[in-house]
């Protein structure tokens, strides 16, 4: 079975973001997209629109001093949705570390743009503690 074209869109976005290329990583994100991030810290919440999403991503880089790694094991997609199965690893300059399995669920519009992302870590409490800066 051939790979769905949205798998490539998703993969390209993650590769670009992993390389620090925010313009490339966000080129297929709709201007009015929403990224839903759980927790109660400064990076949590619904980040709406390109500017808020970019600010959120820059916040991740600042908190982890650029050490966050998203190791993708699988990407699944159809015309309307994508699922990214990954392992997230990161550390903060204060010595705190994170190592959790995670799933990102994406909604994709008819133009192949990502319109929503839900971040679903396997250990929400550990994820929240790390990204809340505690």
Reported as a single tens digit per residue, the pLDDT across 86-126 is 999 999 999 999 999 999 999 999 999 999 999 999 999 99
User: pTM value?
Assistant: 0.93
pLDDT tens digits, residue range 19-40? Answer: 999 999 999 999 999 999 998 8
3-state secondary structure 68-124: CEEEEEEEEECCCEEEEEEEEEEECCCCCEEEEEEEEEEEECCCCCEEEEEEEECCH
Which domains, ranges and CATH numbers included, belong to the chain?
5-131 (3.10.450.50)
């Amino acid at each position: 079975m051939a790979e769905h074209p949205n798998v490539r869109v998703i993969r390209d976005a993650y590769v670009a973001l992993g390389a620090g290329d925010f313009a490339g990583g966000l080129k297929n994100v709709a201007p009015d997209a929403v990224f839903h991030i759980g927790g109660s810290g400064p990076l949590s919440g619904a980040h709406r629109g390109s500017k808020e999403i970019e600010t959120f991503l820059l916040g991740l880089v600042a908190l982890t001093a650029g050490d966050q790694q998203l190791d993708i094991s699988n990407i699944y997609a159809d015309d309307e949705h994508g699922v990214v199965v990954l392992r997230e690893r990161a550390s903060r300059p204060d010595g705190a570390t994170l190592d959790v399995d995670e799933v990102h669920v994406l909604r994709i519009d008819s133009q192949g743009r990502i319109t929503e992302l839900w971040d679903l870590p396997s250990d929400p409490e550990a994820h929240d503690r790390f990204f809340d800066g505690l």
